[in-house]
Structure 1
């Protein structure tokens, strides 16, 4: 075999080995590359961590025009045409916002034109009524003269024939009946005219009241601060901030607030899975995202009893308010917070990472130790990272974080704990079934 053939053979062997390495996933991990964890002993805390936002515990509301209860004004919502920048510090009486006046001004102009038309119609009604009643009175006067003439004719016919006298009597009676008809017509016409005048006056009064109400409402479109403070935009029912261009419902017409920054809350929303673990008075540690190095403390002051769905989510959450123990000048409403609630604490316990615990088909929990044992363990409470081992391990034991290779060769240890583990699982399942059928749980799911 010449040199060239040897070189080609060597290259081929190297390529073949490389392909073999790729296909087989490379060499097995050595013992040094396997991840282990040590069973630790000491204090064990169970916490819930949830994000939230800061808000003032108390605030003064800045409201839009109070017109919802006025029947003369038809407006379900108004649009903000201008508003000061959020965070602006104002003094009592300072300008805050202006509502769009266009629609109201157009309506006011229309009402003013209607009032002019009503006044003109009313004036014409009075003139027409005066002319009509004057004509009726003239007819009555003329009819009375006619009756006098008829009565004189009757008197003069006393010496005439009986037929002439009878004719004169009938003529007088007919003229008296006509007078009574004229008097009745005058009374009826007077009542009709008075009713029309009263109705006209009512319409004029109503229109004047509408105009006055709209003028007063337009004066309220200019919004000023009711007290000293920093302007914080309010939020609508969707959770969006109310600002320039926003439409404000007149039934809930708060446009902004002046928060009292001396007492702050962190508002969080907790899932229905964790809500039963929380109660008022629990201690909370808070971090503000804007100042991650500073730690604040507080206590849960309120836990909602009824869940709600937030926008763009399907799961139910419960509102929880956390009151800060102390505040400083750096804290502002709407700052994002990270809230850690300690729900339980255990002293002098053994614990390991959650990843080290494995559950078999028989629901028995085990760990694999570096000493080659498949150790049955009785579990306790857990947090996001670790879990308490009530029995089966001691401080310093080394366990695998993942199922080791050839796990079937590990010898089983701790068989005496199997019954206790199964009893623990049975009790846990029974408790979960009770919780799922309890009235409180059903309410939470509504």
Structure 2
């Protein structure tokens, strides 16, 4: 039995040794992956994510007259879901009425006061003028009595006649003065009534305007379209609970889907490469198979710090050449901007390039072994770099450092120090 076990054990051991040798050889091969220098058109690309948006859109806004009535901020209490299609005049959003209801109540109190003042002024004026008219009637009656008394006293002593005459003249003077006072009191009454009436009308007008403004707190669509929430400068979209000010009154927008843009942000390192007019290839996360084209139409001159970004970024707008009714504002875009194209140049992958003491070199695989060859490099993109000198087409270079090659001397280019 033992005789049969010995060959089995030897066979198993040989199998395990073979496996170890195979995997070790594979690992060694993996360490020494090579590629060839090739000639092709070089494209310097800047890739970024962005957001699809309409080039033109109409804003749906809160009433700007709020500020005239002392309302400087208002909350959105309700808004239709984003993407809802609406016709002209359809409901879009409602604003919180707490502030305007308070102001209407205050005006109602002022209106009651103005109405009471108007009524009181009217009654006081009527009463004053009535008293003056009664006083005039009384004086006229007393003058008549004195005239009768004077006629009946023609046989009385001169002193008695003179006294009656003087009394009549005094009554005439009082009557004249009372009539003048009546005119003055009437003018005063008219002025007070006008003032009270103006205050009353002012309160009525204010109430009417506030009530009209309150009706505008139900926001409707100015035309047909799809509702897209307004995006603030911070990048946040306005929704139920957001606060809106009269100087930035938009609640939502109705985009024109016939012309679309992709808005993206490029970091401050790569923005120097971006120019208006550069061609762009775009993709949509929502439609992985769709490939769109476009051109850079606007590059911001001033950078900004956006939420989640560690460095300053610059806003870039890209006009999308294609349009489709299925494309929606807010969709995520991938933007590949062609910043430079050089035809028929020698290139190698960036992984093949090493640097030491300011000298760039590659590990060149030759017929006699591996060498460290200095290379002069040109423009680079995210994957490849142009080799201006030091290599030829189809030269084979390592993508990782070959074993034992690190200590070799770099073979300098002619004319290099």
What interval of TM-score do these two structures reach, taking the shorter chain for normalisation?
A: 0.7 to 0.9
Kept in 1, the 8 Å contact 2:61–2:250? The answer is yes
- The answer for the alignment partner of 1:380 in structure 2 is 378
1:47 to 42, 45, 48: 45
Kept in 2, the 8 Å contact 1:376–1:418? The answer is no
Q: Deviations over 1:19-38 (max 9, x none)?
A: xxxxxxx99x7466234333
> Is 1:263 the counterpart of 2:262 in the alignment?
no
TM-score of the two chains, using structure 1 as the length reference: 0.73
Following TM superposition, by how much is the alpha carbon of 1:268 offset from its aligned partner in structure 2, in angstroms? 0.7
Unaligned runs of 5+ in 1: 1-25, 420-446
The two structures, once aligned, show a CA RMSD in angstroms of 3.7
Unaligned runs of 5+ in 2: 1-23
Query: 2:406 and 2:303 mapped to 1: Cα distance?
Result: 47
Q: 1:241 to 1:346 in 2, by over 3 A?
A: same
Kept in 1, the 8 Å contact 2:34–2:399? The answer is yes
Moved more, 77-86 or 329-338: 77-86
Query: 1:173 and 1:110 mapped to 2: Cα distance?
Result: 58
Moved more, 380-389 or 138-147: 138-147
> Is 1:365 the counterpart of 2:357 in the alignment?
no
Query: 2:415 and 2:181 mapped to 1: Cα distance?
Result: 113
- The answer for the alignment partner of 1:311 in structure 2 is 307
Q: 1:283 to 1:237 in 2, by over 3 A?
A: closer
- The answer for the alignment partner of 1:320 in structure 2 is 316
Q: Deviations over 1:197-230 (max 9, x none)?
A: 3321221111111111112112222333222222
Q: 1:401 to 1:141 in 2, by over 3 A?
A: same
- The answer for the alignment partner of 2:85 in structure 1 is 89
2:346 to 342, 347, 350: 350
Kept in 1, the 8 Å contact 2:361–2:410? The answer is no
TM-score of the two chains, using structure 2 as the length reference: 0.78
- The answer for the alignment partner of 2:281 in structure 1 is 285
Secondary structure of the 2:107 match is helix
Moved more, 337-346 or 180-189: 180-189
Query: 2:350 and 2:169 mapped to 1: Cα distance?
Result: 120
Kept in 1, the 8 Å contact 2:71–2:99? The answer is no
Q: 1:382 to 1:100 in 2, by over 3 A?
A: same
Secondary structure of the 2:89 match is coil
Once the two structures are superposed, the pairs formed by residues 36-435 of structure 1 within 5 Å of their partners are 36-68=34-66, 71=68, 73-136=69-132, 192-313=188-309, 315-361=311-357, 363-370=358-365, 371-407=369-405, 409-418=407-416
Q: 1:323 to 1:141 in 2, by over 3 A?
A: same
Query: 2:233 and 2:219 mapped to 1: Cα distance?
Result: 21
Kept in 1, the 8 Å contact 2:285–2:333? The answer is yes
Kept in 2, the 8 Å contact 1:377–1:417? The answer is no
Q: Deviations over 1:170-204 (max 9, x none)?
A: 99999999889878876765555444333212211
